[in-house]
Structure 1
Amino acid sequence: MSKGPWRTKPDPTVKGMPGGVPFIIGNEAAERFSFYGMRSILVVFMTQYLIDAAGNDATLTDESAKGVFHLFVAAAYLTPMMGAIVADVLFGKYWTILTISLLYCLGHGLLALMDVGPHIEAWDMEPFLYSGLFFIALGAGGIKPCVSAHVGDQFGSGNKHLMTQVFNWFYFSINVGAAASQALTPWLLQKFGPWLAFGLPGALMALATFVFWLGRHRFIHVPPSGLKFFKETFSPAGVRALLNLSPLFLLFVPMFWAIFDQTGSAWVIQADQMNRDFGIVWLPSSIQAVNPVMILLGIPLFTYVVYPFMGRFFEPTPLRKIGIGLFLTAGSFAVSALIQEPIDAKQSSIAETVYADISTELRDPALAPSDTAQLATVARTTLGIAEKHLDPSVLTSALGADVGSFSSLIDEDRYRGLLPAESEARALQETGAANLRDAFATGAGAEWTDERFAEFGLTHWTAARATPDDVLITVISPAAIASLLGQLGSAEDPDLASAVKVARTVWLGSDGKSDEARIVAYLDEMPSIFWQFVAYFILTSAEILVSIVCLEFAYSQSPRKMKSFVMGVYFLGVSLGNVFVSGVNFVLERLKGEDGTNPLEGANYYWFFTIAMAAVAVIYVFWSQTYKGETFIQGEGDDDADVVHAEAEAEGTEKP
C-alpha cells in the first residue's frame, strides 16, 4: 500500500473526499492567479513602464512588446512536455510540482525586484524582466501537465464517483482566480506601480507552493515509472495515434491559439485607443477578465442549449464542433479589424490636423524648417500615432523652452513625458485628479488659474503669450480637459474626465483654445469598448468549441498510457501558435520605414490574421472529412480512464 513515509495507492475502502484535494485546489487557484495576473499586464508594462537604472525611457515598441509577450507564452507551453517526462520518469508528480514551483517563485521575485533598481540607480529593468519571464515560463509550463493528473491520483475505487465533482471545483477555482487577477492586477499597476502589480502575484505563488507543501502527508504519491514510460508511450498504437492527430496539433490548434492569445497583446493595445467608458471606465488590460467569466457562464449554456439546438440539424460530433469554432475564431478577429478601421481613420485625421496647425497657425518665424518638422513629429508621437515618448531635447530645440525646471519622470499612467517639478507631480497624483500628470513646456507666458488645486500649487493653466512667437505644449489630464470644456462654455462633465484617455498632447494657437476642443471631439468619436466585448464573446464561444472539445477528442483517440504525453503535445501546439505571432511581430519591427510604420499597420494587422485563420479553417474542413482515427475505450478498472472521464464530465473548463 505504501513505501516509506508516503502512501503510493489510494485506500479502496475510503468513500469520502480524499484528504489531499483541498490542498491541490488551493494551490492551483493561487498559481493561476499569479500567472494570469502577471501575464495580463506584460504588454502595458513593456510599452509604458520600462526604464533603465537612471530612470531613462527603455519602453518597447508595440511590435517588440507583442513579440516578447508571445515568445514568453510560447516558452510557457513548450515546457509542459519536459514537466511530464520529469514527473513520470524521474521524480513523480509531487516532487516535480514542488521543485519547479520554487523556480516559479524566483521568476515572480525577479519581476517584483526590477522596479527597485531605478529607484536606487542600481540596475536596469530589462535583465530582470527577461530572466523573470524565463523562470516563470519554466515553472508554469513544468507543473501544468502534472497538477490535474495529481488530482486523479488521489482517488481509488471507493470514491472515484466524486472525481467529477472535484474536477468541477478544480476548474471553477482556476477560472475564478484568472478573472480576479486580470481585474485586480492592472489596477495595482496603475495605482501603485510594477513592484506591487508583480509582487502580489509572486506572493500568491509563494502561498500556493506553501499550501501544496502542507498537504504532503495527505497526498497519494504515485511513484515514477522510469524508462517504462517511453516503452508504454511509444507503442505501435501510440505512434499511430500521434500520426493521426499531428495535423490537429501542428496546424489547427496552433492557429487557434495564435489568435486567442493576442487577447493579452494586440487587444490590450487596441483597447488603449478606444472609449472604455462602458458601465465603468475599464483599464486596457483589465478587459481580459471577461473571458474566464464568459467561460464559466458559457459552458453550461453550450452543454444544455447550444449543443441540443445543433442536434436538431446535424450531429454535433467533436470534429464538427472544432470546425465551427475555427471559423468563429476568424470572425472574432474580423470584429477587431472592423474596430481598428475607424481608430486608424481618426488617428490619421488628427495627425493631419496637428501638422496643419503647426505649419500655419503655430509656425514660429525664428524656427528653421527642420525644427518645425521635428515639432510635427513630436505631435504625432504624443498623440499615440507613432512612438509614445516626448523627447526633451527635441522640445528644447523646437520650442526654445527652458526645460531646466522640469523632471523627466513616469506619470501615474506610466506615460513618459516632461513633468513639472517632482513635488508638484506627486501632489497631482495624490489628489487623484489626473490619470496623466500635467506636463508643461512653455515660453514665458503660462500661468496657473484654476483655484481647485491651488492648495497644492497646481492649478489649471491659461496661455498668456508673452510674445506672438511663444508656443505652449502640454500633456493634460482628463480632469484638466473637463475643466477646459467648462471654460469653453460647455457644461463640465465629471464622467468625461475619466473617459478621455487618448489625447496626450495639446498645441495652443494664439487663441489658446481651438485645438483642445477639436481633440476632445475626436476622442468622443472613438469606438466603444462594447465592440471588443462582442469580439470576446465570439472568441470565448470558439474556445469552448475548439480548446475544450479538442482535448476531449485527443484523449479518446489516444492509448491509455499516452494521456499525459498527449496533453504535452497539445500544449506544444499552443507554443507553436505563439511562436508564429512572435515571429510576425519581430519581422514587422524590422520592416518599419522611416515614418515608423510597417506593412501591417493598424487594421491590416488584424485582417492578416483573420485571413490566415479563415484559410486554416477551410483546410480543416477538408482534413476532417478524411480523418480516420482509432477510438480507445478504456476498461472499467483503468485508473487513467476514470480521470479522463471525470475531466470530460467537468467539461474541461481548465484554461490551458
Structure 2
Amino acid sequence: MEDERSLLQKLRAYPPSVFFMLGNEFCERFSFYGMKTILFIYLITEHEFAPSTATFIYHAFACIAYFTPLIGSILADSIFGRFKVILYGSIIYVVGHILLSIGAVPFFSYGFRSSMDFSGLFVIAFATGCIKPCVSAFAADQFEEHQKDLRSQFFSFFYFAINAGSLFAILITPILRGRVQCFGNPHCFPLAFGVPGVLMALALVLFLMGWAMYKKYPPSKENVIAKVSEVIYTSVRKMIRGSDKPVNHWLDHAAPEHSQKMIDSVRALLNVAVIFCPLIFFWALFDQQGSTWVLQARRLDGRVGHFSILPEQIHAINPICVLILVPVFEAWVYPALRKITKVTPLRKMAVGGLLTAFSFSIAGGLQLIVNETMEYPPTFGQVYIQRIGNESLIHDFNGTKDGNIPTGRSEIEAGFYQFNTGLANETKTVNFSIPNKGYVMAAFRLEKETKVVSFDYKVEKTDNGATRVFVVSPNDIPTHKVYVVNSRGDVISECPLTSGSHVDIIPGIISDPNVKLHWGPGCNSTSCISSLPNINLNAQMGAVHVLHIHPTTTEKDLDLLVRPNSVSILWSLPQYIIITLGEVLLSVTGLEFAYSQAAPNMKSVLTAMWLLTVFAGNLVAMLISGTRLIPNPALEFFFYSILMCIVMAVFILLAMQYTYVEEHDEDEDDDDSIRINEKKSIEMSEQISANNNA
C-alpha cells in the first residue's frame, strides 16, 4: 500500500526537480535571514543611527518585503508564470546583495556607501517579496495529482529547509560580523553580507540546474484579487446609489453582475479578514525580535562560561524551538488537550496571542533590571571627569580654593578650566568644553613641571562584546607598547604606550575572560612579552577601564569608566521561548483555520491578506518604536504587552461570534476555472510561505 512504503522509498518516488527546490529554499532563507539578522547592528554601528532610527529602517525593510508578495503573485498568476518570476526575482535578489556588500566596505565615502546600502536593501526587499508566494507553490507543481501523500510529506522537508536555513544564518553571520576583523574594522560587515549573497547566488544556480526537469505551467491570466475588488466595488456602488433590492448580506448587491458563487466566496474571505485584523499586532510584536530585542541583548552579558554569544545569535532560539515544538504539539499537547476540552483554531490563536503579550511583559521586566546597569550621559551642559593621579598636584581648580576635584568620577559644567599645580607660579589649562562627554584627567609631577593629560571617551558600554582599556602614563613612549595576552599566552590586541591610546579585548567564540595586560618595549616574541610588567584583568563585556601605568602599577591603578554588562543573556531565553510558543499556536494555526474557511478560488488572495498583516504589523512597530513614541524601552515593552492583551480581548469577542463553515469541496466546479492541482499546491505551499515569517 502507498502509506506502507518506507521513507527512503517515498524519497525515491519524488520528482527529481523538487530536490533542487529544497536546496534553493535552504540557500535563499540563509541569504535572507543572514542579512536581516545583522541589519539592525549594521545600521547602528556603521551608519551610527540612533536606535529609534535603526528600528524605523529595519521595520520599513520588513514592510516592503511583505508588501511586494502582492506584486509577485500578480506577476506569476497573470503575466509571467511562477518559473519566470522566481528566475527574474532571484537574479535581482543577487544584485541586491552585491550592492549591500559593496556599501559595507569602509573605504568608500559615506554618501556612496549609503546609496549602495539603501538601494541594496530596497532591491532585496522587492525581490524576496516577489518570489515568496511562488517558490513553494512551484515546488508543489512538480508532483503528479496521484502523488498527494508525497506532496504533503514534501512540505515537511520544505518547512525544515526554511528553518534550517534561518537557523544556520542566525548562528553564522553574527560570527562573521563580530568575530572576524577586516579593512581595519573590528566588524567585518562586507564578509557578513557577502556570504549571504554567495548563498543567494548558489540558490539561483540550484534553481537553474533543474531547468530541464521542471513542469512550467503557463500563467492562468486571471487576477483573483481584481475580481474580489470588483465584487466589493459593485456592492458599495449600488449601496451608495440606494438600491431598493432586499438582500441578506450587503455583498449580495453585486448580483447579477457577478455570480452567486463568487459573491459567497468573497463573503467567506471577508469573514476571515475580520479575524485577521487583530493579528496585525501579533506581527508588530513578533518581528521586534530583530530590532528592539537585539537592542536589549546588546546590553546583556553574552558570556556563558568560556562561550560568548552575540546579541543577534540569541534569536536562533526561535527556529530551534519551532522545529521542536511543532511536532511536540501535534503529537502530544493537542491530543492531551482534546481529552479535556474542545481545541479549535481560534482558541489556539487566542492563547498564542496572550502568550506573545506575556513574552513582552517578561522583556519589560528584564529591561528594568538592565536599566539599573546602564551608563547614562551627564546632565545637559555637564561633563564627567575621571580624576587620576596625586590629588595634591591640583590646587584651586578654576581659581577657587573649594574647587578641587576629587579622584574618581565627578560631574562639572563643560568649559575651559585652569588650576595651580602646587609648583611656584605654575598653572595649567584643561579643555572640557564638549558637553555630555566623559573625560579622563591625569596630572603627574615631573622633575621641573607638572604634566597634565586629558582625553574624552564615550559614556556608554562598548559593542561587539568588547572590553576597552585606555592608557595613561606620565612618560609617553611611542616605541613601547601595551599588550593584551590571553590565557594561552597569545597576544590578542596591542596599542602604543601613549596616554589616550586604548586596546579592545574582543572575546572569541570560545575564550577565557581572564587576560593579562603587559607593557614595555616592543617585543616580537612571547617570551619577551611575558617578562614585561603586567597585571590581571577580568575582561567583562561592555566595560571601559583606564590603566595608570607607572613604575609600581598594580590592579589598583585600573579604574572603571563604564560599568560592564552584568545581566546574563540567558535571562532573555524565557521571553524567546514564550513568544515562539505564541508563534506555534497563532501563526502556524492561522492559515490552517483560514484555508478551511475560505473558498478554493480565494486561497491566493488569502495568502496575500496574510502577508499584508505582517506588512501592517511592521508598520505599527515603525510608528511606535521607530519614532520613540515611548522613550523608556521598559515602558515600551509593557505598552506592547498591554496593547496585545486589549487586541486579543477584541479577537476573542470576534471569535465568539464566528460561525465555522464546512470545508469547501476542492473538486467542485469553479467559476474561475483554476486547475485542481494548482489550487492544492497553493493551499499547502502558502501555509509554508506564511510559516517562514518565523
- Give the TM-score band, short-chain normalised: 0.7 to 0.9
- Structure 2 vs 1, CA of residues 21 and 513 (structure 1 numbering), >3 Å: closer, same or farther? same
The whole-number CA distance in structure 1 between the counterparts of 2:70 and 2:22 is 22
* Aligned equivalent of 1:273, options 294, 299, 307: 299
Confirm or deny that 1:617 pairs with 2:644. no
Computed over aligned residues only, the root mean square deviation of the Cα atoms, in angstroms, reads: 4.4
578-587 vs 71-80, which deviates more? Answer: 578-587
* Aligned equivalent of 2:617, options 571, 577, 580: 577
Count residues in correspondence: 571
Q: CA deviation at 1:610?
A: 1.1
The match for 1:107 is 96
Q: CA deviation at 1:222?
A: 1.6
In the alignment, is the contact (CA less than 8 A) between 2:484 and 2:516 conserved in 1? no
The match for 2:245 is none
The whole-number CA distance in structure 2 between the counterparts of 1:162 and 1:242 is 29
The whole-number CA distance in structure 1 between the counterparts of 2:36 and 2:323 is 20
The match for 2:124 is 136
Q: CA deviation at 1:309?
A: 2.4
Confirm or deny that 1:172 pairs with 2:160. yes
Per-residue deviation, residues 560-582 of structure 1 (Å, max 9, x unmatched): 12212211110000010001111
- Structure 2 vs 1, CA of residues 393 and 96 (structure 1 numbering), >3 Å: closer, same or farther? same
The match for 1:244 is 271
The match for 2:53 is 64
1:196-275 aligned within 5 A: 196-227=191-222, 229=224, 235-250=262-277, 252-275=278-301
TM-score where L is the length of structure 1: 0.76
Per-residue deviation, residues 46-89 of structure 1 (Å, max 9, x unmatched): 11123xxxxxxxx1011111111011011100111111111001
The match for 2:76 is 87
- Structure 2 vs 1, CA of residues 206 and 492 (structure 1 numbering), >3 Å: closer, same or farther? same
The whole-number CA distance in structure 2 between the counterparts of 1:457 and 1:37 is 27
- Structure 2 vs 1, CA of residues 74 and 541 (structure 1 numbering), >3 Å: closer, same or farther? same
SS of 1:223 mapped into structure 2 = coil
- Structure 2 vs 1, CA of residues 366 and 623 (structure 1 numbering), >3 Å: closer, same or farther? same
- Structure 2 vs 1, CA of residues 457 and 654 (structure 1 numbering), >3 Å: closer, same or farther? closer
* Aligned equivalent of 1:184, options 169, 172, 175: 172
154-163 vs 203-212, which deviates more? Answer: 154-163
In the alignment, is the contact (CA less than 8 A) between 1:600 and 1:608 conserved in 2? no
SS of 2:211 mapped into structure 1 = coil
The whole-number CA distance in structure 1 between the counterparts of 2:587 and 2:57 is 24
In the alignment, is the contact (CA less than 8 A) between 1:102 and 1:209 conserved in 2? yes
Q: CA deviation at 1:529?
A: 1.5
The whole-number CA distance in structure 1 between the counterparts of 2:492 and 2:298 is 31
- Structure 2 vs 1, CA of residues 90 and 349 (structure 1 numbering), >3 Å: closer, same or farther? closer
634-643 vs 328-337, which deviates more? Answer: 634-643
The match for 2:638 is 607
SS of 1:586 mapped into structure 2 = coil
The whole-number CA distance in structure 2 between the counterparts of 1:76 and 1:523 is 37
The match for 1:561 is 601
**Aligned AA for 2:677?**
D
The match for 2:324 is 297
Extract unaligned runs of 5+ from structure 1. Answer: 1-13, 51-58, 376-390, 416-433, 464-470, 592-598
The whole-number CA distance in structure 1 between the counterparts of 2:648 and 2:223 is 38
* Aligned equivalent of 2:17, options 15, 20, 40: 20
SS of 1:83 mapped into structure 2 = helix
In the alignment, is the contact (CA less than 8 A) between 1:108 and 1:198 conserved in 2? yes
**Aligned AA for 2:161?**
S
Q: CA deviation at 1:228?
A: 5.9
Extract unaligned runs of 5+ from structure 2. Answer: 1-10, 182-187, 232-261, 404-409, 416-431, 443-450, 520-533, 669-675
**Aligned AA for 1:643?**
S
Q: CA deviation at 1:244?
A: 0.7
- Structure 2 vs 1, CA of residues 374 and 30 (structure 1 numbering), >3 Å: closer, same or farther? farther
Q: CA deviation at 1:602?
A: 2.9
The match for 1:386 is none
In the alignment, is the contact (CA less than 8 A) between 1:558 and 1:631 conserved in 2? no
More contact order relative to length (CA 8 Å, sep ≥ 6): 1
In the alignment, is the contact (CA less than 8 A) between 1:72 and 1:133 conserved in 2? yes
Percent identity over paired residues? 30
The whole-number CA distance in structure 1 between the counterparts of 2:548 and 2:601 is 71
Per-residue deviation, residues 347-396 of structure 1 (Å, max 9, x unmatched): 268979xx997388899766799994459xxxxxxxxxxxxxxx997799
Higher helix share: 1
**Aligned AA for 1:620?**
F
* Aligned equivalent of 1:44, options 41, 45, 50: 41
**Aligned AA for 1:328?**
L
Q: CA deviation at 1:501?
A: 1.5
The whole-number CA distance in structure 2 between the counterparts of 1:398 and 1:277 is 29
The whole-number CA distance in structure 2 between the counterparts of 1:373 and 1:440 is 25
* Aligned equivalent of 1:639, options 664, 669, 677: 677
In the alignment, is the contact (CA less than 8 A) between 1:476 and 1:504 conserved in 2? no
SS of 1:628 mapped into structure 2 = coil
1:456-475 aligned within 5 A: none
The whole-number CA distance in structure 1 between the counterparts of 2:594 and 2:67 is 18
**Aligned AA for 1:639?**
N
The whole-number CA distance in structure 1 between the counterparts of 2:484 and 2:78 is 71
205-214 vs 259-268, which deviates more? Answer: 205-214
The whole-number CA distance in structure 2 between the counterparts of 1:70 and 1:403 is 48
- Structure 2 vs 1, CA of residues 367 and 310 (structure 1 numbering), >3 Å: closer, same or farther? farther
The whole-number CA distance in structure 2 between the counterparts of 1:16 and 1:457 is 54
* Aligned equivalent of 1:324, options 322, 332, 351: 351
The match for 2:256 is none
The whole-number CA distance in structure 2 between the counterparts of 1:437 and 1:83 is 48
Per-residue deviation, residues 280-314 of structure 1 (Å, max 9, x unmatched): 21011111112111111111111112112222321
* Aligned equivalent of 1:502, options 527, 542, 553: 542
Highest CA radius of gyration, 1 or 2?
2
- Structure 2 vs 1, CA of residues 506 and 162 (structure 1 numbering), >3 Å: closer, same or farther? same
Per-residue deviation, residues 77-113 of structure 1 (Å, max 9, x unmatched): 0111111111001111000111111111111111101
In the alignment, is the contact (CA less than 8 A) between 2:469 and 2:545 conserved in 1? no
In the alignment, is the contact (CA less than 8 A) between 1:174 and 1:655 conserved in 2? no
The match for 2:584 is 544
In the alignment, is the contact (CA less than 8 A) between 2:535 and 2:554 conserved in 1? no
SS of 2:625 mapped into structure 1 = helix
In the alignment, is the contact (CA less than 8 A) between 2:44 and 2:51 conserved in 1? yes
The whole-number CA distance in structure 2 between the counterparts of 1:551 and 1:606 is 28
1:487-526 aligned within 5 A: 496-497=538-539, 500-504=540-544, 506=546, 523=564, 526=566
SS of 1:157 mapped into structure 2 = coil
SS of 1:587 mapped into structure 2 = coil
**Aligned AA for 1:477?**
I
**Aligned AA for 1:316?**
V
The whole-number CA distance in structure 1 between the counterparts of 2:555 and 2:398 is 23
In the alignment, is the contact (CA less than 8 A) between 2:299 and 2:542 conserved in 1? yes
Confirm or deny that 1:529 pairs with 2:569. yes
TM-score where L is the length of structure 2: 0.72
509-518 vs 21-30, which deviates more? Answer: 509-518
In the alignment, is the contact (CA less than 8 A) between 1:115 and 1:125 conserved in 2? yes
Higher strand share: 2
The match for 1:334 is 361
In the alignment, is the contact (CA less than 8 A) between 1:323 and 1:620 conserved in 2? yes
In the alignment, is the contact (CA less than 8 A) between 2:337 and 2:343 conserved in 1? yes
